[in-house]
Every structure is written in structure tokens, then in C-alpha cells.
Amino acid sequence: MSAGFRRSRLLGFDATRTGTPCKACRGEGDPPVPRCVFITGASSGLGAALAAHYAREGATLGLVARRADALQAVAARLPTPSALYPADVADRGALRAAADDFLGRHGVPDIVIANAGVSVGTLGAEDEDLPVLERVLRTNVVGLAATLAPFVAPMRSRGTGILAGIASIAGLRGLPGAGAYSASKAAAITWLESLRVELRGSGVSVVTICPGFIDTPMTRVNPYGMPFLLPAEEAARRIARAIDRKRSFAVVPWQMAVVGCFLRSLPNGVYDALTARRPRKPRKLPL
């Protein structure tokens, strides 16, 4: 067995292709055609890179982000039309309205990517960080669930579709100084797994993506080394490939899957000793 095949099996590679295009770009019996893709957190970083990736494929995009000006700047650089929705994923009403509008204009998307997220250092012993914990959980967990929920029934009725959530390798173990972020990503992983099992047999695939370190504004404030750091554009390409293959769980880059498995295998005492003095993400960053 080749090393590449062993790695593929370890990480769960799947060559399955995506489902039927939306009504705005359907061409039954024709060669592959552009798709409809709905992405949150699209104004910068990984979200903007994902938007650019799918735009190059000719996809019709629905893009959601809090910052309207930054979102418009991203859309202006794209070669395909985009429906823009300035909204905070923590605002479930605004997110539902964006989803309903996109469904009405373009039909059921082929891919929905719940990418929006926030990260900030927190300390469990500090009372003043409890509101920060609430904000991080509201965005990274409730916002993720609220992004995907409006599309579940339409995709199930059609019998195809991909719901993808961006979690993190940080969700595999609790990181000191980043308890809120680690907890939110652990919850996201578990939520997506539960949703995947609930939708088994429906034709709707649920994909959990756990990135390692990606060069984005979110990571540039980190005061520590970031092994296997990927440019956002390369990360987007790899993530899109995993989504197209309907991987149930994918770590990007694959080397971080090895790191994650190693950390998870460590006894608590060893893990504690290794990470207790690790540099920590700054607290009180803007969210």
C-alpha cells in the first residue's frame, strides 16, 4: 500500500462529486456547469478566498459578512455576480432573511459554507471574559447552526446539497488562553457530526472542515509559531476540494491531522506540561 493511499485512508478521502446545480445554473445532461454557493464571513480571510475560488469556477454566489464596505470590495473583484448580505451571523433574523432572499432569487444552493467566526484570547479565571465567551459561542456555534438551518429542508426536498462548516483543529483539545475559541470549535465539530447523522440517507452531505493555521487577519496577531501555515488562497483550494468530495471530516492541511492525533493521544499530565507555558493569543481583541 502506497504512502499516499495510506494517508488518504487515514484522512477519509472520498471521490464522490457534488449534487445537482441550482435552478439558476442547471444544465441536465450537459458538461459540468457553474453552481450556486452561499458563504458567510466572506469579507476577508478564508471567506474571501473561498468566494474568489468559486467565482473563478463561474459560481453564482451569496456572500454574507458584517462589514458592508469590505464585502462590496470583495465582490467588486469577482468575475461572477454575487448577492451581498451585510449581516452578522449572530443575528438569526438577519441571517434567515438573507437565506430566504437567496433561495427566492437563485433557488436552492449546491453548497452552503458556514465560515464566519471570531477568535480572541480568554482566561477562564477572569469574570470579565464571560461576556466574551458568550459572544464567541454565539458567533462560532449558534451562527454556524443558523447559517445551515434555512437550507436543510430545501436541500432535503431536492435530494442533494452540501452543508459545510468551518471548525478548527483548535477544537480537538482545550488550548490555554483560548478556552472560548477551543470550546466553540469543539461544539461546532459535534454539532456538525450530529447534523450529518440526522441527514444520513437524505442526499444532503454535511462536511466538517478543521483548518490548521491559515494566513488571515485572525491569525496574524498570534504571538507564537504556526506550523504548516497556508496562504488563504491555497487553503480555500484545498477546502473546496474536500467539500466537492463530500468528506465527512477533513483537516487542512493534512499534516495538522497528524499533529491533532498526536495531541489527542497525550495523557492529560503530559499535555498540560507541554502547553501550560505556551504563548497565548491576546485578550480584549475587537470582535
Domain ranges of the chain: 34-275
Is 271 part of the annotated catalytic residue set? no
Lowest mean pLDDT among 83-87, 198-202, 203-207, 271-275: 271-275
pLDDT of residue 21: 42
The residue ranking higher by pLDDT, 281 or 230, is 230
pLDDT value, residue 33: 54
Give dist(CA 286, CA 70) in Å, integer.
16
User: Averaging pLDDT over each range in 3-12, 38-47, 276-285, which range is the top one?
Assistant: 38-47
Pick the more confident residue, 106 or 279.
Answer: 106
CA count, 13 A, side-chain hemisphere, 65: 24
The whole-angstrom separation of Cα 196 and Cα 141 is 16
CA distances from 226 to 94, 131, 229, 231, 287 (A): 35, 28, 6, 12, 22
Average pLDDT over residues 29-50: 82
* pLDDT score of 12: 37
Rounded Cα–Cα distance for residues 178 and 120 (Å)? 7
Over residues 202-216, the mean pLDDT reads 94
Q: What whole-number distance in Å separates Cα of residue 148 and Cα of residue 207?
A: 11
Q: What is the pLDDT of residues 70-128, one digit of tens each?
A: 999 999 999 988 999 999 999 999 999 999 999 999 999 999 999 999 988 888 888 99
Q: What is the pTM of this model?
A: 0.85
* Backbone phi, psi, residue 206, to 5°: -115, 125
Considering 54, 85, 181, 224, which one is annotated as catalytic?
A: 181
CATH no., domain 34-275:
3.40.50.720
Any idea which of 26-30, 261-265, 271-275 has the lowest mean pLDDT? Answer: 26-30
CA distances from 142 to 46, 187, 218 (A): 20, 10, 20
With a cut of 90, say whether residue 13 has pLDDT above it.
no
